[in-house]
Amino acid sequence: MLPIEVGRSLGSQWPCRDVQARQLASLLSPHVPSPPTIVVHGISATCKSTILRGVLSTLEVPHAIIRSSECITGRHLLTKILWNTLDALGQKEEWEKAGKGRCEHISGLAVLLEECLAARTSDTSKKFVLVLDEIDKQREAPHTLLSALARLGEIIPSLCVVLVLSSTPRPLFLQSAAVPHISFPPYTRKEAIDIILTSNAPVVDGLPDETSLRVYPYFVFTVYDSLIGPTAGSIPNFRSICERLWPKFVAPVVNGEAPPGGNTEWDFSRLLVKNRSIFRHQGESALVHRIVPEETSTAITKQKTPLSNVTMMPSALPSLPYFSTLILTSAYLASHTPQRLDTIFFSKFSSSSLSARNKRAHHRRRLKVLSQAQAEERQAANDDPSTPNKRGKGKRTKTRITKSTLSSAFATSSATTSATGSGSGITGPSTILTARSFPLERLLAIYHAIDPNPPATPLRVAAVADRIYAELATLRRLRLVVPAAGHNGAASSSGNTTADAGDKWTVNVSGEWVGELAKGIGVEVGEWLAGGLD
């Protein structure tokens, strides 16, 4: 079969990948010798593996495909390569010969593969293709793995190794020259829209076919331009958004609403004007995958004004028991108050007197002024991507100011102090990352300072520390408060449960939630925070 025919036969099913299919077909054709190594690369969802599989099965070349993402270790990968090769060659019963099915090193693999391929009964000159899918994502791979695998094809003449990468390879990354690379670029606007339009519009009950035919192409164009193009969405993403939005888009037609302006028929521009909000709200939320999908299917048929459906049901925030809430609040404060300000904010002496309050307020204000400029900048940045509001409007604006001023206040204050937190690269939501570690004793001390119902007799206090440890263990299990070492080191700490008095901890949740929880038990977090309450 000629490459052009292969391309054509695959093109009907997988459009817009004609060039790549032909390239692959000519390189892997059973009648011409193949290069020892081929690199296929392109970002995810560009049809690499599918086209490769299609070409190989159309050409009827013996091959084995190994999904590298399923191999846990390098050794696992090698064993799998050997096994799948034996399987593809029909020599599975003879595994005893092939190193007893065990393969621990790549040099061993070369020998074993050579033996297997030589043992083929039929035409020995026939080539064998080994496809290693997503090989750049291999876990626990030695750094020489890729170049070593590329050598396999040179050592064994009848073998052709195809490496499928999802990242763009650096020049000469295989340490050998002239390896053919086949690139699968992301689909262009035209290609993507063509692909979507090859399948028909999703069926909507009560919509005339003719309207659907007329409006759907425009709809797909609009979806691409507004949602997919700017976010570099993939084809499956594109398709699912089209499927989700289409019924809502044509809802006015289905419901038999009268078109505006005295016209008798809906055309695309009228529908678009009517449904602008769909693209704004639902489109944006459609881009974000959630584990629990919003119940849309039932709403479509009845819903007349899609706007009212937009606001997501805010799943009730978890509430913690009283004592745990207080501990979490103290942990949050311990993480977010510079230690040098402890005596100002948490000093037990005259904590309720006017002068102490004034002092706290003064410091909060000073820190705020210091960071005013940055706060505004940050707020401007915060405003843009803010998604539709979930909770009450009034609360939201308040917390937003607090949050941004706070975070910038800490950026400055941590710069002036010895900067424990600035060591780690700061990206992402600032409230979490600016949380600094604190020793347990500080948490206990702050707990006593903010306790809204302090015990009447100080003698009874002694038991509190012991009770705190038990609750802290639960909070830790919920990953609300974590040991500071585990924050960066990750896996090492998940199993052990030891806690030393000197160990440091950090809080691991956003301030908004803690603030609300604390309000529920009568603690105003802002009062204790630098920059809060103003």
Partner 1 sequence: MDPDGLNDALGLSDDKSQNLGAYIYQPPKHGKAGERPSKRRKVSVSGNEPAQIDRQRFVPLLNGDENAQSVKLRHDSYQQLWSEQEHKIQAILEDVDAGVLTEVSSFVRETSSQTCNGCIPTALVTVGSNVSSLSRLLSRLNEQLISTEEGSVVVLESGDAPNLKTTLKNIIRATITNTDGNDGYQRFLTDRSGPRLLGYDLDLLHDYVQRKGTKKLVLALRDSEAFDTGLLTDLLSLFKSWIDRIPFTILLGISTSVELFEGRLPRSCVALLQGKHFEVQEAGNCVDRIYESLQTASSTQLWLGRNITSTLFEITSDYFQSPEAFSRMVKYAYMSHFFANPLAVLFAKPVPIALLSQRKLCEVIRNLPSFRIFCEDLVEEGSTKQVRDMLENDGYLLKETIRCLDAGQQKMRSIFQAVLAVHVCLQYTQNTGKATVSDLSVRALSGELADSTLVDDMIAMMKALDSNKLDELIGRLQDILYNEQLGAIKANLKLLLETCPESGSLRSGYNINSTVTTTTVVQSRVQLSKGKAELSEQDVEYTKIIDQLLVFLQDYLAETLIRPQDMFLHEAFLFDLRNPLKETFAPRPRFAIERALATPFDYLLSSSDATATKISAKQPATAILYQLYLESGALVNVHDLWRAFSGVFENEEGDSCDDRVVMSLFYSALSELKTFGVIKNSRKKTDHLAKSAWMGL
225 touches partner 1 by CB under 8 A: no
- Nearest CB to partner 1, comparing residues 319 and 358: 319
**390: which 2 tokens?**
């979930």
Q: Rounded CA gap, 403 and 269, in Å?
A: 42
Give the residue with the Cβ less far from partner 1, 195 or 509. Answer: 509
Please tell me whether residue 242 binds partner 1 under the rule CB under 8 A. Answer: no
73 binds partner 1 (CB under 8 A): yes
Overall size of the chain counted in residues = 534
Identity of the amino acid at 133: D
- State the minimum distance, in angstroms, from the CB of residue 13 to partner 1: 18
The verdict on 169 binding partner 1 (CB under 8 A) reads no
Q: How many helices (H) and strands (E) does the chain have?
A: 27, 8
By the rule CB under 8 A, 8 interacts with partner 1: no
CB closer to partner 1, 135 vs 160: 135
Candidates 177, 291, 354, 456: give the one binding partner 1 (CB under 8 A).
291
How far apart (Å, rounded) are the C-alpha atoms in residues 323 and 51?
59
Contacting residue, 470, 488, 522, 534, with partner 1 by CB under 8 A: 470
Of 422, 400, 405, 421, residue with least CA distance to 367: 405
Q: How far is the CB of 72 from partner 1 (least distance, A)?
A: 5
Taking the complex as a whole, how short is the minimal distance between the CB of residue 153 and partner 1, in angstroms? Answer: 25
Residues 157 and 151: their CA atoms lie apart, in Å, by 11
For residue 79, give the 3-state DSSP assignment. helix
> Shortest Cβ distance from residue 287 to partner 1 (Å)?
10
Does residue 49 touch partner 1 according to CB under 8 A? no
Residues 365-394 that bind partner 1 (CB under 8 A): none
In whole angstroms, how close is the CB of 101 to partner 1 at the nearest point? Answer: 3
Give, as ranges, the residues between 80 and 99 that touch partner 1 (CB under 8 A): 92, 95
Amino acid found at 310: V
Query: Which of 70, 209, 376, 377 is in the footprint of partner 1 by CB under 8 A?
Result: 70
Which residues between 294 and 353 bind partner 1 (CB under 8 A)?
315-324
- Please tell me whether residue 139 binds partner 1 under the rule CB under 8 A: yes
Q: Are 320 and 517 in contact (CB under 8 A)?
A: yes
| CA nearest neighbour of 406 among 519, 295, 314, 531 | 531
Phi and psi at 146, nearest 5°, equal -65, -50
Strand partners, 483: 505
Distance, CA of 324 to CA of 472 (rounded, Å): 8
Binding flag, residue 67, partner 1 (CB under 8 A) = yes
Contacts by 5-11 with C-beta closer than 8 Å and gap 24+? Answer: 6/55, 6/58, 6/59, 9/58, 10/51, 10/54, 10/55, 10/58
Q: Residue type for 369, please?
A: V
Instruction: Please say which residue, 145 or 409, places its beta carbon nearer to partner 1.
Output: 145
* Residue number with CB closer to partner 1 (54 or 531): 54
Q: Which stretch binds partner 1 (CB under 8 A): 52-60, 100-108, 171-179, 523-531?
A: 100-108
Question: The sheet that has 481-483: what strands, in order across it?
Answer: 438-439, 504-507, 481-483
What is the nearest approach in angstroms of partner 1 to the Cβ of residue 256?
Answer: 31
For 191, the token pair is 């290609």
- Does residue 471 bind partner 1 (CB under 8 A)? yes
Q: Provide the residue type at 32 as one letter.
A: V
CB-based contact 367:531 (threshold 8 Å) = yes
Q: Residue 71 CB, nearest distance to partner 1 (Å)?
A: 9
Contacting residue, 4, 33, 50, 102, with partner 1 by CB under 8 A: 102
Binding mask 251-290 for partner 1 (x = CB under 8 A): -------------------------------------xxx
Q: Over the range 30-48, which residues count as b (16 or more CB within 10 Å of their CB) and which as e?
A: eeeebebbbbbbbeebbbb
User: What token pair was written down for 153?
Assistant: 């094809």
28/165 with CB nearer partner 1: 165
Give the single-character DSSP code of 132.
Answer: E
416 binds partner 1 per the rule CB under 8 A: no
**Which residue's CB is nearer to partner 1, number 72 or number 258?**
72
Contact 375, 404 (CB under 8 A): yes
User: Could you tell me the smallest distance in angstroms from the CB atom of residue 47 to partner 1?
Assistant: 16
Say what the alpha-carbon torsion angle 6, 10, 11, 17 is, to the nearest 10 degrees.
Answer: -90
Q: Which two tokens stand for residue 296?
A: 């849309």
With binding defined as CB under 8 A, does residue 509 bind partner 1?
yes
CB closer to partner 1, 29 vs 508: 508
Number of neighbours of residue 416 by Cβ within 10 angstroms:
10
Residue 495 as a binder of partner 1 (CB under 8 A): the answer is yes
Size of residue set near partner 1 by CB under 8 A: 60
Examine residue 513 and tell whether it contacts partner 1 (CB under 8 A).
Answer: yes
Task: Give the residues lining the site for partner 1 (CB under 8 A).
Answer: 67, 69-70, 72-73, 75-76, 79, 92, 95, 100-102, 139, 240, 288-293, 315-324, 439, 441, 444-445, 448, 461-467, 469-471, 474, 477-480, 490-491, 494-495, 500-502, 509, 513
